[in-house]
Structure 1
Amino acid sequence: MVLAPTGTEATVPLVAVLSGLFGLAIGSFLNVVIYRTPRQESLIAPASHCPLCGEPIRARHNIPVLGWLLLHGRCADCGSTISVRYPLVELTTALLFAGLCLRLSALQLLPALPAYAYLAAVGVTLAMIDLDHRRLPNVIILPSYVIIAGLLAGASLWTHDWSALARAGAGGVALFAFYLLLAVIHPAGMGMGDVKLAGILGAILGYLSWAALIIGAFGGFLLGAIVGIAVLAAGRGTRKSALPFGPFMITGAILAIFVGDPLAQLYLRAMGQV
């Protein structure tokens, strides 16, 4: 006999869809943040406009993803090319928001969704800025400590799970200290922006589990090594070529949120521990 889903279970797909739609809107704003923050421009004024001709973008063309498709990837006024990265940022943010909703629901941690959605938004933003400018702006990272701490505390208050909040604090301190040690030992290979980002990722991963923290922390190094080898093999760089590490850290953390615990269980089974 197939049982009908409970009220909470039945609403999860709807919440995931709404989260995805909200993610589309947030992704549109993130494109503004990614472009203007490194240039120290206001995020409020002027309104969205073509960076080449300066003409304002019409409201119907500001619809996430669809606006880019309607314009065929070109400015409606001057015809200049609009990078495909704009709709990709919007779509990626939407998928992350929806996916995090489903994942946290499965873990019975849905009250923590605002914290993880915020991390996804900040992660997409920082990854793009680091790729473009090789830096992680303090104006984004430092306030994120306060915001994520507040959102995780709110989730713990809702669920009465204070051990998760304590684990988040310990995880943030541990990963910050680890990256700081690496920066001291090898300053050329690790920037302080990476160190500051590590504290945020450590907290958000530690809130889930120790397994997620460990896999997320070392996942970034693994991804960096794989891409570095691929760059060398393709002749696109040398051993001295510097790659921005922030995107690898963020990708490793996101992957750990979704598959950290299953990977840990798989490893333990392989070792005969479970």
Structure 2
Amino acid sequence: MIILDYSFIPVIYIFIMGACIGSFLNVCIYRIPENKSIVRPGSFCPSCKKPLPFYCNIPLLSYIFLRGRCTFCHCLISIRYPLIEGLTGLFAVLLFHRFGLSTAAGFWFVFISALIIISFIDIDHQIIPDILSLPGILTFASSFYFLPDMTLKDTLWGVLAGGGSLYLVALLYYLLRKQEGMGGGDIKLLAMIGAATGIKGVFFTIFAGSLFGTFFGILIMLYTKIANSKLKIPFGPFLSMGAILYIFWGEQMIRWYLRIISP
């Protein structure tokens, strides 16, 4: 007798739902910096502007079936669209595996989705729109309600530490160099991260984000052959990477580090 294992089915459903939301994130990334509605009009080709039928909007599959080209003008479609869909679906599965079907998983999925939008907008335009970060601070300040390990005090300290720490860094840089070295968007982003993760998450994010930024910054300079201290590299994506790392492994990594440095 053959016994079939159906345990993978919920994971597939969760991945599909995550990928569908990832398709919406692509819309937000494209339209928010241009101050366009994320609701209307429907999806259209960025090149020929023609509305796309539903069968051209199936996450991941449409890109494969259309071979990465618009069905009307045959212009190339950026590989980033399916990558964001797949990445969002993957995070949905990872959160389900880590937290199960819980309020914590839902909270972190919304949070990571916001970080994805912010990161790719920052990559494209080197801005973090206030329309995302400021409501994000208020929205994710509800973390004490959805996360069992968070309290209102943790949330408030996280916001203050997140916004305050980067503000002090930016202020010191300006006093020493007489020029801005960090945008206000990064300060508000870290305040948003602090609202969700608390003060421990803030300092972990700064540390991990700085490591990611240094590593990828060196790679970018080597690839572009630009060894210029004034090369502008957006910091938002690296802060987001640090925050996501904290969600999944932050507590374990902090305990591991404390064991190493303890006598």
TM range (shorter): 0.7 to 0.9
Within-5 A mapping of 1:144-223: 144-150=136-142, 152-155=143-146, 159=148, 164-187=151-174, 188-206=180-198, 210=200, 212-223=201-212
Within-5 A mapping of 1:77-92: 77-92=72-87
Aligned to 1:29: 24
Q: Per-residue deviation at 1:203?
A: 2.1
Checking the alignment, whether the CA contact within 8 Å between 2:209 and 2:239 is kept in structure 1 is yes
Q: Do structure 1's residue 51 and structure 2's residue 42 form an aligned pair?
A: no
Unaligned runs of 5+ in 2: 1-6, 175-179
Opposite residue 191 of structure 1, the aligned amino acid is: G
Q: Do structure 1's residue 224 and structure 2's residue 213 form an aligned pair?
A: yes
Aligned to 1:240: 230
Q: Per-residue deviation at 1:255?
A: 1.1
Question: What is the rounded CA distance, in whole Å, between the counterparts of 1:42 and 1:50 in structure 2?
Answer: 16
Q: Per-residue deviation at 1:54?
A: 1.5
How many residues align? The count is 252
Aligned to 1:117: 109
Cα shift readout 1:183-223 (whole Å, capped 9, x = no counterpart) = 222242211000000111112222xx83x443222111111
Cα shift readout 1:44-78 (whole Å, capped 9, x = no counterpart) = 11110111111111101101111111110000001
Question: What is the rounded CA distance, in whole Å, between the counterparts of 1:111 and 1:267 in structure 2?
Answer: 29
Question: What is the rounded CA distance, in whole Å, between the counterparts of 2:203 and 2:139 in structure 1?
Answer: 23
Question: What is the rounded CA distance, in whole Å, between the counterparts of 2:14 and 2:141 in structure 1?
Answer: 21
Q: Do structure 1's residue 69 and structure 2's residue 59 form an aligned pair?
A: no
The structure-2 alpha-carbon separation of the partners of 1:193 and 1:22, relative to structure 1 and needing over 3 Å to count, comes to same
Checking the alignment, whether the CA contact within 8 Å between 1:118 and 1:148 is kept in structure 2 is no
Question: What is the rounded CA distance, in whole Å, between the counterparts of 1:199 and 1:18 in structure 2?
Answer: 33
| TM-score, normalization by structure 2 | 0.88
Q: Per-residue deviation at 1:231?
A: 2.6
Aligned to 1:133: 125
Checking the alignment, whether the CA contact within 8 Å between 1:75 and 1:81 is kept in structure 2 is yes
Checking the alignment, whether the CA contact within 8 Å between 1:205 and 1:216 is kept in structure 2 is no
| TM-score, normalization by structure 1 | 0.84
The structure-2 alpha-carbon separation of the partners of 1:233 and 1:78, relative to structure 1 and needing over 3 Å to count, comes to closer
Checking the alignment, whether the CA contact within 8 Å between 2:122 and 2:128 is kept in structure 1 is yes
Over aligned residue pairs, what C-alpha RMSD do you find?
A: 2.3
Checking the alignment, whether the CA contact within 8 Å between 1:19 and 1:94 is kept in structure 2 is yes
Of 167-176 and 24-33, more deviation after overlay is shown by: 167-176
Of 117-126 and 231-240, more deviation after overlay is shown by: 231-240
Q: Per-residue deviation at 1:17?
A: 4.5
Identity within the alignment, %: 35
From 233, 252, 261, the equivalent of 2:242 is 252
Q: Per-residue deviation at 1:143?
A: 1.3
Checking the alignment, whether the CA contact within 8 Å between 1:216 and 1:260 is kept in structure 2 is no
Opposite residue 251 of structure 2, the aligned amino acid is: D
